Amino acid sequence: MSNRRQPTGVPSVLSFPSVDLSRRRFLSGTAAVGGLAVLTACGGGTTSSGSGATIDTSKVDPGAGKALQAIFGPGGKAGGSEVTLSAGMLLAITGQGSFFGKVMSQGAKLAAAQIQSAQGITYDVHIADHKSGDVPTALTGTRQLITQNNIKILQTSYGAPSEAIVPLIAQNKLLSFNGGGSSPGQVGKAFLWQTRMIFGDDPAPGALAWIAKTFPSAKKLAIVGTKENGVAGAKTIGPAVWNQLTGGSVVANEQHDVGATEFSSIIARIKSASPDAILTFSFGDDVGYLVKQLREANVKVPIMGIEFTEQAAKVAGATYDTYNFATDFYDPKNPNPWNKVFVAGHNAMWGAAPEYYGANYYEEVFFVWELVRRVLANGGDGTDTTALQAALEKNPTFKSLYGGDEKTTGEVKFNPTDHTISKPMGVFKVAGGQPVKIADIVKIAAGSDPTKALV
């Protein structure tokens, strides 16, 4: 996956309640398969499924099932109660990005349990570890999910691993979703759908438009990123948009390895260039180390990022209060009725409030449930991934945790041509440890007036 990170400008930090789930819970379900860790959903009070995984329903509020039926429709046969789908997840269970694998799998497992409580489909979760972005491991893990777990659905993550498995997805007609590391190399690929905006590329114009408006004297921009994600944003979109907005230029454009914790050389070059603002496409813990070391080096200019995680905030400490971010951001306080079911369920099952990535992977399971319902309503086979995808293409609009209000759920819409998605985006600051949206931004076409990205 390449996980999405949040940017920052001058103030703020974003902080979510800690997701305190021990890796032991994951490792206890590990099966040694060809030397690769392949895990299955597990837990007490579970309902066994046909493919060997189990779904933990012991901590699902009985009222959640009725609430979900009110939102999505009745359970039973029409709701897919006779349909079992073996689903794979290709995640960072170990390595620098293990936080992402943890919260993503939590979201999917909660969704599977809640849907079963609503008398919907049985969604068996099998997890392969790509070790935080290792491509050969990702290929091996995906093949094992296909041959040994007979998966039909795949939730993938990170950019490079997901791009590498594109042929396997197409060959095996795996209906696949990526809610973490969307990247240009995944766009328009058969059976692969992005459930978040393209990392870095889509929010960059709005992020830069906010900087230009908030700091009108800023002319010199420094960019920091990786080769993993947001490459177009760093190399082409960012420089072009900044020049359109300010007439200025990019005075430093630095790259680092994913998982970096030491940025002294990059910071020295940035200080030498004397930028007026910094835009970073770094993600995970990396951005926490970067922000902390920039501030400790007395770099005081605004820092804008593309994502936020609590882990990075812990790394950066108090310095993260000077970080802003721009992205399609999930708000756990959103009062929409489905989001309330999700937040309450996440707290009950995992003992912590949900965050961005968990929300995305939770949503994806419900997208699958909705597609099964549509196919069954037309007399089709709810396990036929070709039919499921055709149903998505016919009606690409779905209920969402994003947006909405106290009475209605939000809504997202896929683009049937390039398999991307449209979701709300914003620029955020952090006040008192909580995210506060300070501007709405929208995706714009290449070459368009970037001031239009700032609503």
232 and 150 belong to one structural domain = no
pLDDT in tens, 224-262: 999 888 999 999 999 999 999 999 999 999 999 999 999
The helices-and-strands tally (H runs, E runs) of the chain is 15, 19
Residue with tokens 């042929």: 167
38 and 150 belong to one structural domain = yes
311 and 432 belong to one structural domain = yes
Q: Could you tell me if 151 and 126 are in contact, meaning their C-beta atoms sit under 8 angstroms apart?
A: yes
Any idea what the CATH number is for the domain that residue 95 is in?
A: 3.40.50.2300
**C-alpha distance from residue 201 to each of 110, 177, 207, 253, 341 (Å):** 30, 19, 10, 16, 32
Domain that holds residue 355: 34-197+331-423
The CA distance from 147 to 168, in Å, is 11
309 and 340 belong to one structural domain = no
156 and 236 belong to one structural domain = no
Q: Is residue 219 part of a domain?
A: yes
Beta pairing class for 175-178 and 192-194: parallel
Q: Is residue 220 part of a domain?
A: yes
Which residues are paired to 425 by β-bridges?
441
Mean pLDDT of 104-108: 97
pTM for this entry: 0.78
Q: Is residue 18 part of a domain?
A: no
Q: Could you tell me if 185 and 163 are in contact, meaning their C-beta atoms sit under 8 angstroms apart?
A: yes
DSSP states of 217-270: T--EEEEEE-SSS-HHIIIIIHHHHHHHHHS-EEEEEEE--TT----HHHHHHH
What integer pLDDT is reported at residue 306 of this predicted model?
93
Quick one: what percent of the chain has pLDDT higher than 70? 87
Q: Is residue 16 part of a domain?
A: no
Q: Residues for the chain: how many in total? A: 455
Q: Is residue 14 part of a domain?
A: no
pLDDT in tens, 313-364: 889 999 999 999 999 888 899 999 999 999 999 999 999 999 889 999 999 9
**C-alpha distance from residue 101 to each of 2, 84, 89, 158, 289 (Å):** 11, 24, 9, 10, 20
Going by C-alpha positions, the residue among 15, 409, 17, 420 that lies closest to residue 179 is 420
370 and 392 belong to one structural domain = yes
**Residue 208: both structure tokens together:** 């830069």
User: Is residue 10 scored above 50 in pLDDT?
Assistant: no
Residue with tokens 């499924």: 49
401 and 438 belong to one structural domain = no
Mean pLDDT of 177-190: 91
DSSP states of 50-87: TTS-EEE-TTS-HHHHHHHHHHH---SGGGTTT-EEEE
357 and 264 belong to one structural domain = no
320 and 406 belong to one structural domain = no
Q: Could you tell me if 42 and 52 are in contact, meaning their C-beta atoms sit under 8 angstroms apart?
A: no
> Which residues are CB-neighbours of 390 under 8 A, at least 6 positions away?
none
Q: Is residue 5 part of a domain?
A: no
The CA distance from 366 to 356, in Å, is 16
What integer pLDDT is reported at residue 38 of this predicted model?
53
Please measure the distance between the N-terminal and C-terminal CA atoms of the chain and give it in whole angstroms: 29
Q: Is residue 212 part of a domain?
A: yes
User: Is residue 9 scored above 70 in pLDDT?
Assistant: no
Mean pLDDT of 145-159: 97
319 and 337 belong to one structural domain = no
**C-alpha distance from residue 41 to each of 48, 130, 162, 217, 283 (Å):** 10, 17, 22, 53, 27
46 and 158 belong to one structural domain = yes
Domains held by the chain: number: 2
Q: Is residue 279 part of a domain?
A: yes
Q: Could you tell me if 170 and 419 are in contact, meaning their C-beta atoms sit under 8 angstroms apart?
A: no
Beta pairing class for 425-431 and 323-327: antiparallel
77 and 170 belong to one structural domain = yes
